[in-house]
């Protein structure tokens, strides 16, 4: 039988992401993942948020790291926010799709609920590639029955005042809006009362 101290540990939310979740160029306490942790605490929701995001991470890199992260943290909920760097490097859709599918499968095999987070690429990558890239996430959501945040940077990426000078990374001021983009898909997975979702 497990000791009571172990049994009392709060369920873990593991965020596996890239620079958009690691908080590139801003204070760690300003990032949307940190703000999520604060929101959960303020609402009395007993979750431990572990941010395993790494700037520059690809789906392949995440696939390499995830098994050990799952073994270490045993997350109740896995948030996968990867693929942007694959897209920026022009990777073929099947590569991105297969890696994301494997990440989802690994999480589920460990017993985690999974939330998939998509993102749009800059317009200079062309409409055709962008549409195909976004379709990867939508198709995975539909075929694997996994909840999806369609666009992490919705109503952020198109506003230059909310983006850093590189045009790729959001500012600290944008992070609350990013959390609001994630929350509608995340809240139902937390098994919380409806009034705590709003």
**Best CA proximity match to 51, nearest among 60, 64, 197, 65:** 65
Contacts 24+ apart (CB under 8 A), 35-42: 35/175, 35/176, 35/179, 36/179, 36/182, 36/186, 39/179, 39/183, 40/190
Please enumerate in sequence order all residues whose Cβ is within 8 A of that of 185, keeping only pairs 6 or more positions apart, or say none.
Answer: 115, 147, 148, 149
- The first and second tokens of residue 73, run together, are 């943290």
159 part of the active site: no
Angle at 78 between CA 69 and CA 118, to 5 degrees: 120
By three-state DSSP, how is residue 168 classified? coil
Are 61 and 48 in contact by the 8 Å Cβ rule? The answer is no
101 part of the active site: no
Q: Which of 53, 76, 141, 169 is catalytic?
A: 169
Please enumerate in sequence order all residues whose Cβ is within 8 A of that of 133, keeping only pairs 6 or more positions apart, or say none.
Answer: 83, 87, 93, 96, 121, 125
76 part of the active site: no
Q: Which of 19, 21, 53, 112 is catalytic?
A: 19
List the catalytic residues: 19, 166, 169
């Amino acid at each position: 039988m497990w000791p009571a101290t172990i049994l009392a540990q709060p369920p873990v939310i593991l965020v596996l992401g890239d620079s958009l979740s690691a908080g590139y160029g801003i204070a760690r306490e300003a990032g949307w993942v940190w703000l999520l942790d604060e929101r959960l605490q303020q609402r009395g929701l007993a979750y431990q948020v572990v941010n395993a995001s790494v700037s520059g991470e690809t789906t392949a890199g995440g696939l390499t790291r995830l098994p050990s992260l799952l073994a270490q943290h045993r997350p109740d909920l896995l948030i996968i926010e990867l693929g942007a760097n694959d897209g920026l490097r022009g990777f073929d859709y099947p590569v991105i799709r297969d890696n994301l599918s494997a990440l989802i499968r690994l999480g589920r095999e460990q017993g985690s609920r999974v939330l998939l987070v998509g993102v749009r690429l800059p317009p200079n990558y062309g409409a055709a590639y962008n549409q195909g890239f976004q379709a990867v996430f939508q198709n995975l959501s539909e075929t694997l029955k996994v909840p999806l945040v369609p666009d992490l940077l919705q109503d952020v990426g198109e506003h230059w005042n909310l983006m850093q000078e590189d045009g790729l990374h959001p500012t600290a001021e944008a992070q609350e809006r990013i959390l609001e983009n994630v929350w509608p898909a995340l809240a139902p997975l937390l098994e919380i009362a409806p009034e705590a979702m709003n």
